[in-house]
Amino acid sequence: MKEKAWGGRFALPTDSEVEAFTASVHFDKRLYKHDILGSIAHARMLARRKIISAKERDAICAGLKEIGADIEGGAFTFRADDEDIHMAIERALTEIIGAAGGKLHTGRSRNDQVALDVRLYLRDEIADVLKLLARLKKMLLKTAKKEIETILPGYTHMQKAQPVLLAHYLLAYYEMFSRDQGRFEDCRRRVNVMPLGAAALAGTGLPIDRKAVAKELKFPALSENSMDAVSDRDFAAEFIFAAATVMMHLSRFCEDLIIWSTDEFSYVEISDAFTTGSSIMPQKKNPDVAELIRGKTSRVYGDLVALLTLLKGLPMTYNRDLQEDKEPLFDAVDTVKSSLSVFAAMVGHVKFDRRRMRAGAEGGFSTATDAAEYLVSKGVPFREAHRVVGTLVAYCLEKNKPLTALSLEELRRFHKKFDADILGRLAVESSVAARKSYGGTATEVVAKRIAELEKNAGR
Ligand code: ARG
């Protein structure tokens, strides 16, 4: 029992089932780089404060670097009784450098250590996610520019509503992913707080220098309260919420691509490289990537609920429950990163069928609002105009023809304010061109927005 770092007061060895049950090393070994980074900064500070000698510091730092290289290269053997990554590294350190290894844990606890590791880890992951979001946004902007003339039906309630530019549709997602970037940047401010020195929960009686550690690890802020520092996982919940929102956005985009690639719509063709076949039906080409992203969204929601539930009602301060924060967090990180990456690649390989989209936009009386707005421009109250055009649509349904096939004479039977200039207004191009209100779909408005986004590098 004396082998365990905390074994002093124990007379019996840990039950082997308990050992397996309480272990986290099989998943928290992912934190090894950040654990070592934090330990090196801690050891340097201890030496500067003369809590350990310069020789001990050098031995500790060299040993930690060796362990880091071994884990990286796959030469490190984790043991069943290692418990977690912190214990595994400390155990190996003592094996390599002897007694000095036992000085590393001076003035700290695994409670502040694990909080530090997760913050360091998440800071790197946020940088990765931000890069992936920027890459996706770049792809959307490029595609929007290419599709600036493409008109498709905009839907509400899955019913054709009004014609819009495909570029406008794509930039709607651009806005969503910009907000996602903002959420991760905001989350990063709260991740970027240095908890080491809180020790178990109360701080330490040793003359440590927390500011120096924060500076070395590039943290702009220190935790102000040691009890909060070891029990806080708000930042992890925030990260998962931001990831869940990205997934929600992706799932909506995927849903459109799935519907649009049906035979019924045929608005898009997703590249062979991003679809899969059926084991029985030779004709099939399934949008599995889009479906899986839609499906994986649920995992990240699950991760968020898992963490929030873990934190609910947890007594102050550190409780072992908190070890359960890592798997949902890691799962959210992996899922959002892989989804963003594969999605950006897939969107770059989607072929939009401009002709089909345009034909779709012409159906469903999608320019009826333009007829009503025309009457409004001639002084007719909107409610009256709405009713007149409604009866016009009913007439078209009965005669089985589109609004654009009506003669001026027919139109005038419904309202005398219809003049010759109405005829051009009911084409989808005119409808789009008319929507010049700020943020609307008119080509000039969208083109201006594209130029603005290109100039501001995406903001
Ligand atoms: N593996 C633990 C965790 O992830 C590290 C902290 C353990 N602290 C403790 N006092 N048992 O939370």
Give the Cα separation of 304 and 321 in Å (integer): 15
Quickly list DSSP for 14-35: PPHHHHHHH--HHHHGGGHHHH
Query: Looking at ligand 1, which residue's alpha carbon is closest to its atom 11?
Result: 320
Q: How far is the CA of 43 from the centre of ligand 1 (A)?
A: 20
Query: Looking at ligand 1, which residue's alpha carbon is closest to its atom 2?
Result: 323
Q: How far is the CA of 320 from the centre of ligand 1 (A)?
A: 6
Given a cut of 90, whether residue 135 has pLDDT beyond it is yes
Q: Which 3 state secondary structure label does DSSP give 348?
A: coil
Query: Looking at ligand 1, which residue's alpha carbon is closest to its atom 4?
Result: 323
Alpha carbon 31 to its chain centroid, in Å, reads 21
Burial code (b: 16+ CB inside 10 Å, e: under 16) for 124-148 equals ebbeebeebbbebbbbbbebbbebb
Q: How far is the CA of 141 from the centre of ligand 1 (A)?
A: 45
Instruction: Give the pocket of ligand 1 (CB within 6 Å).
Output: 24, 28, 84, 110-111, 114, 320, 322-323
Best substitution site from 4, 320, 327 to test ligand 1's pocket, by max atoms within 8 Å of Cβ? 320
Active site residues: 157, 278
Given a cut of 90, whether residue 243 has pLDDT beyond it is yes
Mean pLDDT in residue range 44-52: 98
Residue 458's pLDDT is what? Answer: 56
Residue 284's pLDDT is what? Answer: 83
Mean pLDDT in residue range 76-88: 94
Given a cut of 90, whether residue 253 has pLDDT beyond it is yes
Residue 324's pLDDT is what? Answer: 98
User: Would you call the peptide bond into 317 cis, given omega within 30 degrees of 0 as the criterion?
Assistant: yes
Q: How far is the CA of 114 from the centre of ligand 1 (A)?
A: 7
Given a cut of 70, whether residue 2 has pLDDT beyond it is no
Structure confidence by residue, pLDDT tens digits, 290-333:
999 999 999 999 999 999 999 999 999 999 999 999 999 999 99
Best substitution site from 14, 22, 111, 326 to test ligand 1's pocket, by max atoms within 8 Å of Cβ? 111
Residue 389's pLDDT is what? Answer: 97
Domains and CATH numbers, the chain: 7-106 (1.10.275.10), 111-147+165-198+226-352 (1.20.200.10), 360-457 (1.10.40.30)
Alpha carbon 35 to its chain centroid, in Å, reads 25
Checking DSSP bridges between strand 151-156 and strand 159-165, what pairing results, if any?
A: antiparallel
**pLDDT tier, 277 (very low <50, low <70, confident <90, very high otherwise):** confident
Q: Which 3 state secondary structure label does DSSP give 193?
A: strand
Q: How far is the CA of 3 from the centre of ligand 1 (A)?
A: 18
Query: Looking at ligand 1, which residue's alpha carbon is closest to its atom 12?
Result: 323
Mean pLDDT in residue range 275-302: 93
Q: How far is the CA of 325 from the centre of ligand 1 (A)?
A: 11
Best substitution site from 323, 326, 329, 330 to test ligand 1's pocket, by max atoms within 8 Å of Cβ? 323
Q: Do 3 and 64 form a contact (C-beta atoms < 8 A)?
A: no
Question: Ligand 1, closest atom to CA 322?
Answer: 12
